[in-house]
A and B are shown apart, each in its own frame.
Chain A
Amino acid sequence: MRIGLFVTCLTDTLFPGTGQAVVAVLERLGHQVDFPAAQACCGQMHFNTGYRREAVPMARGFTAAFAGYEAVVTPSASCASMVREYYPALAAQARDPGLARAVAEVAPRTYELSVFLTGVLGVTDVGAYFPHRVTYHPSCHSLRMLQVGDAPLRLLRAVRGLDLADLPEADVCCGFGGTFAVKNPDVSAAICADKVAAVRQTGAEVLCAADNSCLMHIGGALDRQRSGVAVMHLAEILARTEDAR
């Protein structure tokens, strides 16, 4: 299968290891991964903050970069839900029939990593080995917009050596919310404080999620407290094997 990797601007810029991990996992499963260099940002931050006009060219850029791939895979539930759930409305509002057609073609083939692995490829054991205590935060967009269900948990349970700890009140938001974290920093930090307390209660060494944005937020607070809890994207755990640490 010819897979186009949509790495997302955030992961591209700040967390390249996550993109490398996605490539490693998919290639280990025998698939060809391509990184179309024309890709940039999906426009979610602009769209969600009210700058729709500015988001339209980003949607055009996305559809052009990924036209023709059998599947577009991204290590972000949030960006995947932007493409799948909001691009059709954005194209309609922009009164751009060409964009609407391009969206109709690419949006249904755009998958968040855990959905692609479990739902499209039908794989839960990707041959990973990670002998650590891990807890998983289901990001809101993965849970309630994309409805990935327990796909990430099934992948984690199949990782050899991994000790999966239940996160209390897991389905409550971490308080990131994109520009919310900067526009309402006090409320954002107050919500995050409870998420951090829940994470620490599990005794996990690693907090895992399917979105680097939420991990940047919770991880930033964990680091500020010198908690000793690391954050890792799901892909980075799935990429670990006994040979490659």
Chain B
Amino acid sequence: MTAPGAGGLQPGAPPASAPHPGMPTYLGMPSFPVAARAAVADSQLRANLTHATHTIRAKRAGAVAELADWEQLRQAAKEIKDHTLAHLDTYLLRLEANVTRAGGHVHWAADADEANAIVAGLVRSAGADGVVKVKSMATQETGLNEALAADGIGALETDLAELIVQLGHDRPSHILVPAIHRNRAEIREIFRTQMPGAPAGLTDDPQALAAAARAHLRQAFLSASVGVSGANFAIAETGSLVVVESEGNGRMCVTLPRTLISVVGIEKILPSWRDLEVFLALLPRSSTAERMNPYTSTWTGITPGDGPEHFHLVLLDNGRTSALADQTGRQALRCIRCSACLNVCPVYERTGGHAYGSPYPGPIGAIISPLLRGVTSPADASLPYASTLCGACYEVCPVAINIPEVLVHLRAKVVDAKREKTFSPERTIFQLSGWVLRSPRLLAAAQRAAATGGKLVARSGRIRRLPPPLNGWTETRDAPAPPPESFRAWWARTRGTGR
């Protein structure tokens, strides 16, 4: 067990300087069980996560309970998204036509590299060497900040939690609350040591911390010539984008700079404003447990004399069309990134987000990452197994994604992808146990063998240590010793063989 605080700031981390460093990448992440082991042992992380997830969980339950028609809203959202995904080509072309008509420019990016190159080119042609950013999952997914940094362009995250993460040379660990793994004492320390011009005598009072961040960001907002955003929704019928946020930094980013670049996943589209109504009821209650979020910004192309003079929409695929081709997996594209599933997940609560090796942590990350990236890397192949299949995520999902169903589907993909490969100890165990467990005769023989073996290793009916691969069980739990007589042996002895 790591002592409190030991998992916190790295003393050797480089100081912040302009341009801001990009967020570290996720390449080469270890598999989930390995990453999770370290997280589970970090008591400061565990305390921070338990406190935060339990608080949000309870608030969300209260906010959802206020709406008598929650289930109908959920069903409507599911159907709107499914309809849109089934006609994605139509709606994307409609969106493109309407954005263009409103004076915007639409770019199509097949993958992360294309998206990053488009954005870097646009920033350069705007004559800028830095951008202000409003929190965006799509640009975290593409590693935009790192790509821009490699091109000599600084990217400043303006969401408070993203700023904390960026200043701390850290990675986000939650979709909505990226610095959920930090407490305010840790945040004060990050600001004090990493934020240029941090006030002397800064305390860990939340208001003081917010005020320090505000002062730090204000100058950047006023001087930036390029803003980069994502979007929560893209409305096809008018070519409008919608960003939902709590701090007002998003409003600054999409209105103050002369050039606005929005990177948006192709699944974020909704046919009409009428459809948006459903999602504006579901999203704030599911994510921040608010009836309505403080800032909802919408814009349509450019408006002369008001807001950005140039608007670019980068539509990102990056694995989405292959996810769409997966009949069971495609439901994950309904996701509106609310993070309700993270907050109720018993696994996420113990590991935090970093163990998932992706900007998308928690239950949704365990399905989205393998759907977008495939199941070939050890990290992606381990993600579908990072769940107890307890179903709490499906229960709270506002767009009714059956996450356990997709997890089990992806597990089959992981297993099937390895079937052609050479020897696998796990597959051998499952094939052999499959033979035994489908045959009453072999099962009975195994039960007799287990009873004999159990007598040798058990003490007072309990087994304290088992060999691999079951040693993971007996590290922390006793195992029951097989009884001298199985149920079927008892039945045969007392009732005869039956049919």
Contacts and interface: CB of A to CB of B under 8 A. Distances in A.
Nearest to A8: B487
Main secondary structure of the interface of A (DSSP, over half): helix
Which of A39, A54, A185, A224 has the largest number of chain B CB atoms within 10 A? Answer: A185
Interface string A56-97: 011001000000000000000000000000100000000000
A49 B430 contact: yes
B408 A50 contact: yes
B216 interface: no
B440 A37 contact: yes
B438 A190 contact: no
Given A38-B440, A177-B387, A180-B388, A46 B487 contact: no
B499 A16 contact: no
Interface stretch (B181-189, B329-337, B409-417): B409-417
B281 to A, nearest CB: 24
A52 B387 contact: no
A49 B37 contact: no
Interface string B396-435: 0000000000001001111110000000000100110110
Interface string B92-112: 000000000000000000000
A144 B476 contact: no
A52 B491 contact: no
Given A9-B443, A34-B499, A216-B480, A191 B388 contact: yes
B406 to A, nearest CB: 12
Contacts of A141: 391
Interface of B is mostly: helix
B488 A35 contact: yes
A192 interface: yes
* Residue of B346, B351, B483, B497 with highest tally of chain A CB at under 10 A: B346
A52 B443 CA distance: 20
A31 to B, nearest CB: 15
A148 B475 CA distance: 33
Contacts of B40: 186-187, 190
A217 interface: yes
Interface stretch (B62-70, B203-211, B466-474): B466-474
Given A7-B487, A173-B388, A175-B388, A182 B469 contact: yes
Interface in B476-492: 476-480, 482-483, 485-488, 490-492
A178 B389 contact: yes
B472 A185 contact: yes
Interface in A157-192: 171-173, 175-192
B248 interface: no
Contacts of A224: 476-478
A73 B487 CA distance: 15
A50 to B, nearest CB: 3
Nearest to A195: B346
B388 A13 contact: no
Interface string B358-391: 0000000000000000000000000011111111
B389 A140 contact: yes
Contacts of A14: 480, 482-483
B434 A54 contact: yes
A186 B36 contact: yes
Contacts of A223: 462, 477-478
Interface in A1-58: 7, 9, 11-17, 19-20, 34-41, 43, 45-52, 54-55, 57-58
A2 B13 CA distance: 71
A151 interface: no
Sorted nearest first, the 6 A-B pairs with minimum C-beta distance are: A177-B388, A220-B477, A185-B472, A50-B411, A50-B415, A173-B390
Given A9-B437, A16-B486, 15 more contacts: A7-B487, A12-B447, A19-B491, A20-B490, A37-B440, A40-B443, A51-B415, A54-B430, A144-B392, A182-B469, A184-B386, A187-B33, A189-B475, A220-B476, A221-B477
24 contacts: A9-B443, A11-B487, A13-B450, A16-B483, A17-B483, A34-B499, A36-B499, A39-B440, A40-B443, A50-B384, A51-B431, A54-B431, A140-B390, A144-B394, A171-B392, A173-B390, A181-B472, A182-B472, A185-B472, A186-B40, A189-B476, A190-B46, A190-B350, A224-B476
